Structure 1
Amino acid sequence: MADTSTKNGRGATNGQPADRARVWGGIDLGGTKIEAVVVDARGEVLGRARHPTPAKGGPGEVVKELYGALGEAAQTAGIEPAKLAGVGVGAAGAVDANSGTLAHTSNVAGGWDAPYPLASDLGDLVGGSKVVLGNDVQVAVAAEYKLGAGRNYRSVLGVWWGTGVGGGLVLNGVPWRGQGSAGEIGHMVVKPNGARCGCGRNGCLEAYAGRACMESKARAAAKKGEKTLLFDIMREKKRTRLSSGVWARALKDKDPLATRLIDRAIEMLGTTIASVINLLDVEAIVLGGGLGSRLGPLYMGRIQDAMHPHLFITERKPAMHIAELGDLSGAIGAALLAGPQM
Structure 2
Amino acid sequence: RRDGDATAPARAFVDAARVLAPVRGRPRSSAVVDVDEEVGARARLGGGAIHRHGVRGAAMTTGAARGAHRWALFALAFIASALVAGTVYGWPPLRRLLLEEDSNASEKALGAVFTAGSWSVQGGRFVAGISRDHFGTRFTCCACLACVVAGAVMIALAKVGDDASLTAGMFAVGLGSGVQLCVQPVAVLFPEYSSTIMSALSGAFQISGLVFLALTAGGDRKIGFLVFAGCAAALLATCAFALPRGTSFLETPAAVDDDDDDDDSSTRGPEDVPVAVVVVPTRKEGLMNGETRREQMLSSEFIGLVAWFTIV
Q: TM-score, normalised by structure 2?
A: 0.23
Greater share of strand: 1
Structure 1 or 2: more helix by fraction: 2
Which structure is richer in relative contact order (CA contacts within 8 A, separation 6 or more)?
2
Greater radius of gyration (CA): 2
